[in-house]
Amino acid sequence: MDLGSWGIPARLESGADEPVYTLEQKGRLTYLAVCTGCHAYDGVLHGPSMQSIQALYDGDKSGMVAYINNPERKREDFPEMPPQSYLGAETLDAIAQYILEDLGK
């Protein structure tokens, strides 16, 4: 269908370009879209607070990535977190970086 006759540019006719995100943006946006479904910053939802997670993994980004990728139950008062490996290594690293370095600052 030729939408040009309706004044619609050809670029829109074929679809918009997929956005390109920096690693910081990818970490922040994925945290907001995925992690906040179960974790609040300073309170308890389905999972523990992000402040307690920041304290647990302070300076240990690789430990946090390993846990997010393949979690094991750490606290009896919370359910086991489902694996988030579907997000991919780059995104998991960006999430951990955001949580440990930027979240709450």
Q: pTM score, two decimals?
A: 0.81
Complete DSSP assignment for the chain: ---GGGT--HHHHT-PPPP---HHHHHHHHHHHTGGGT--SSS-SSS--HHHHHHHTTT-HHHHHHHHHS-----TTSPPPPP-GGG-HHHHHHHHHIIIIITT-
**Confidence (pLDDT) at 105:** 85
Structural domains of the chain ordered from first start: 23-102 (1.10.760.10)
Confidence of residue 6 (pLDDT cuts 50, 70, 90): low
pLDDT tens, residue by residue, 72-95: 998 899 999 999 999 999 999 999
Condensed to tens digits (0 to 9), the pLDDT of residues 17-76 reads 778 899 999 999 999 999 999 999 999 999 999 999 999 999 999 999 999 999 999 889
